[in-house]
Structure 1
Amino acid sequence: MSDQLRTDRARAYPLECDHCHYPIPDDPVENDDGQYCSTACREAAAEDSTMSEPDAYKRVATGVEPLDSLVPNGIPADSLVLLSGDEGTRRAELGIELAWRALERGEPAVVCSIANPPTATLERFYQNGWNVLPALENDRLRIIDCFTYRLDDRDGFLDDRNDWSTFIGEAAEDAIVDVRDPSDRSELANRLHGALDDLEMTETGLVTIDSLDDLEAVFTEQSVREFLTDVRATVCKARFVPIVAAATTAEQGGPPGAAHVFDGIVDLRLTDHLTPEARLKQLAVRKLTGAQFLPQWVTYEHEPARGLFAFGPNTDARQVYDFGNGPTQPDRPR
């Protein structure tokens, strides 16, 4: 919770419930141990079930610079968020970075790998210089494999892997959760819930779904909506674990007829209107239920190890790109 929000709350409601820690708008319900907003809170406190500080787990600072700059107080943890982006906007890298930043915070992460085999999904981390072997060994990362059993020759695929892919696959074997019938949305949901239970993911961590486009190729349109509706309720709303799903840009803002399912939509686009003869990447928050956000586009780029970074409107784009050495270090947004 921001300091300003705390100050405003204290001015409006000087008393705070000793159980739920929310303001007491009416006369407090008291006993010898404290003051409460309701009888329910007083009775719960008597059973030693005092809640954690409000917003301690209800807001998530993602650690991704361009996104956090638009949502300064954090994303509500009970959100299902869509990353809706054009091809070439680094949408896949954003999903991987969100999982990595959760691991960096010491939290667990689950990645639903639909567009790629698990080893390719893990390779995305390594391409950015992010070593996930410790997280695999420390039981903080799960990969839900929705790809391998869609192959006509699964055994041939496994036999043809190179040494690195074989090594990563063997190292991650205990962290890979197979979905043997990817067309069965119930099996996918059950495997996801099993991974969340194994990692004790309630009020912590993050789930990413790498491609709703590929999920639509496996499920029917109705099944995609039903799956998203189900996990939004049972994961986001029940556990306070956010889910971030990626899809290519669509007029409706997601899978056909499913835009209303999402609590938040982040748009990613390419634009050639800012710099002559350059196509720059921008992102903006279209909607985010339960949170304030800045209604503007942020120009960004991606760099291995650093991830996505923002640069301001007054920055010469030529300062950002050095094709011999990769992106340079631009000025921070002003």
Structure 2
Amino acid sequence: MTEQLNTDHAPEYPLECDHCHYPIPGEAEESDEGRYCSVACREAAADGSTMTDPHAYKRIATGVEPLDSLVPNGVPADSLLLLSGEEGTRRTELGVELVWRALERGEPAVVISVMNPPTATLERFYQNGWNVLPALENDRLRVIDCFTSRLDDRDEFRAQRNEWTEFVGEAAEDAVVEVRDPTDRREMTHSLRGALDDLEMTETGLVTIDSLDELESLLQRQTARDLLTDLRATVCKARFVPIIAGTASTGEDDAPAAEYVFDGIIDLRLTDRLAPDARLKRLAVRKLVGAQFLPQWVTYEYEPARGLFAFGPDTDVRQRYEVGNGPLQPNRNR
């Protein structure tokens, strides 16, 4: 007769460490307070240390439908990400939407505005139907202004603003951090760290850089690379706050700022192969360190308020649009 293994009192595997919350790969270190994966965790718990469950902050669902469909388990929160997109792929709108989705989740966000003045940066949200005024008032959104100091006459610039732009500028005044010398990467880094500290951004929120191309034109190429390397270490890896930078892509091999610096690269491309006489937008994850992703292209479109949305795999893309006497419009009945 074959002897049966008595599993009535066998522990459920894998056991989870009561301090770091990761699986215990071998024999547990036990105490009256619990089971631990190591002496370090057992002693830390005995000293009263508490560790947040890493699953709660180490991966994020971005809230952007086409992107989340390719990364079903979430984007690692310690990632430096590059949005590499051809002109016309709504790359800028994707960066704006990523910030808005974070605000919708109740998380803070910082936008490093290199290409536009702060009012123009905020206007991109309003163009999408997303009101960021409450986030500005509630101290959940900051804009690092790397543009205004480069104006020849900022007083003239302010004098030319219309009533709405002036209102937005006044409403956002306390949420804007002006960098006096954007060519000094240390000042830019210091300004960002101050904003992160003020918003208590550790294990929450995200940072976006509106244009990596403009940043590289402002700084020397090597200096821009050093800045990204520094921010990757001190923000992404130390705080678990992702940074997302956008860059224009021509489809050639002139990659910006050493792509190896980035933990993830999201490609946005146009194609005319899927439907006659139509240039459709497609998105794919080229690389994403520390996460599984689907190795395929997702066809997507953009709509104000809705943001980016994906086509279904069986959708006839030619039927996604209503064709009339006016401009081509997304068909909302599909």
Q: TM exceeds 0.5?
A: yes
Shift of 1:312: 2.4
Question: Offset of 1:297 from its aligned partner?
Answer: 0.4
Give 1:328's aligned amino acid: N
1:1-334 matched pairs, under 5 angstroms = 13-249=13-249, 251-252=252-253, 254-256=255-257, 258-322=258-322, 326-329=329-332
Question: 1:329 Cα deviation (Å)?
Answer: 3.0
Aligned partner of residue 123 in structure 1, secondary structure: helix
TM-score, structure 2 normalization = 0.93
Q: What is the alpha-carbon distance in structure 1 between the residues aligned to residue 254 and residue 105 of structure 2?
A: 30
Q: C-alpha offsets along residues 124-163 of structure 1, whole Å, 9 cap, x if unaligned?
A: 0001110000000000000111111111111111111110
Deviations 1:228-261 (A, max 9, x none): 00000000000000000000116457414x1110
CA contact (8 A) 1:70 1:284 kept: yes
CA displacement at 1:330 relative to structure 2: 6.6
Matched residue type, 1:261: V
Aligned mates of 1:279, 1:225 — CA distance in 2? 33
Give the C-alpha shift of residue 319 in structure 1: 2.7
Distance in 2, Cα, partners of 1:125 & 1:293 = 28
> Higher Cα Rg: structure 1 or 2?
2
Larger mean Cα displacement after TM superposition, 280-289 or 152-161:
152-161
Q: Distance in 2 between matches of 1:13 and 1:223?
A: 49
Alpha-carbon distance, 1:320 to partner = 2.0
Segments of structure 1 that go 5 or more residues without pairing to the other structure are 1-10
Q: Distance in 1 between matches of 2:281 and 2:208?
A: 22
Matching residue of 1:4: none
Distance 1:56 1:328 in 2: 37
- Give 2:6's aligned residue: none
CA distance in 1, matches of 2:98, 2:333: 22
SS at match of 1:142: strand
SS in 2 for 1:103: helix
Query: Equivalents in 1 of 2:110, 2:204: separation in Å?
Result: 11
- SS at 1:101 equivalent: helix
Q: What is the root-mean-square deviation of aligned Cα atoms in Å? A: 1.6
* Deviation (angstroms), 1:35: 0.9
**Match for 1:255: what amino acid?**
P
Give secondary structure in 2 for the equivalent of 1:55.
helix
SS of 1:180 mapped into structure 2: coil
State the secondary structure of the residue aligned to 2:197: helix
SS at structure 1 position matched to 2:130: coil
| SS at 1:44 equivalent | helix
In the aligned structure 1, how far is the partner of 2:125 from the partner of 2:102? Answer: 13
Count of aligned pairs: 320
Residue 5 of structure 2 corresponds to none
Q: 2 CA distance for matches of 1:328 and 1:107?
A: 32
Post-superposition offset of 1:262: 0.1
Shift of 1:14: 2.4
- Contact 1:17-1:35 within 8 A present in 2 as well: yes
Q: Aligned-pair distance for 1:54?
A: 2.7
The whole-number CA distance in structure 1 between the counterparts of 2:106 and 2:206 is 11
TM-score, normalising length: structure 1: 0.93
Distance 1:115 1:273, change over 3 A: same
Distance, in Å, in 1 between the alignment partners of 2:246 and 2:197 is 24
- Report if the CA contact (8 A) 1:84-1:253 is conserved: no
| Separation in 1, partners of 2:19, 2:75 | 24
Distance 1:129 1:318 in 2: 27
The CA distance in 2 between the partners of 1:12 and 1:91, in whole Å, is 46
For 2:228 and 2:21, how far apart are their aligned partners in 1? 32
Contact kept, 8 Å, 1:319 with 1:330, in 2: the verdict is no
Q: Give the Cα separation in 2 of the matches to 1:324 and 1:207.
A: 35
The CA deviation string for residues 282-327 of structure 1, in whole angstroms up to 9 with x for no partner, is 0100000000000000000100110000002432223322366842
Change (3 A) 1:252 1:186: farther
Contact 2:275/2:318 (CA < 8 Å) preserved in 1? no
Q: Which amino acid in the other structure matches residue 238 of structure 1?
A: A
In structure 2, distance between residues paired with 1:83 and 1:156: 34
- The aligned residue for residue 3 of structure 2 is none
Aligned to 2:8: none
| 2:125/2:132 contact within 8 Å kept | yes
8 Å CA contact retained: 1:247, 1:254: no
- Deviation per CA, 1:160-219, whole angstroms, max 9, x where unpaired? 111000000000000001011111111111111110000000000010001001001100
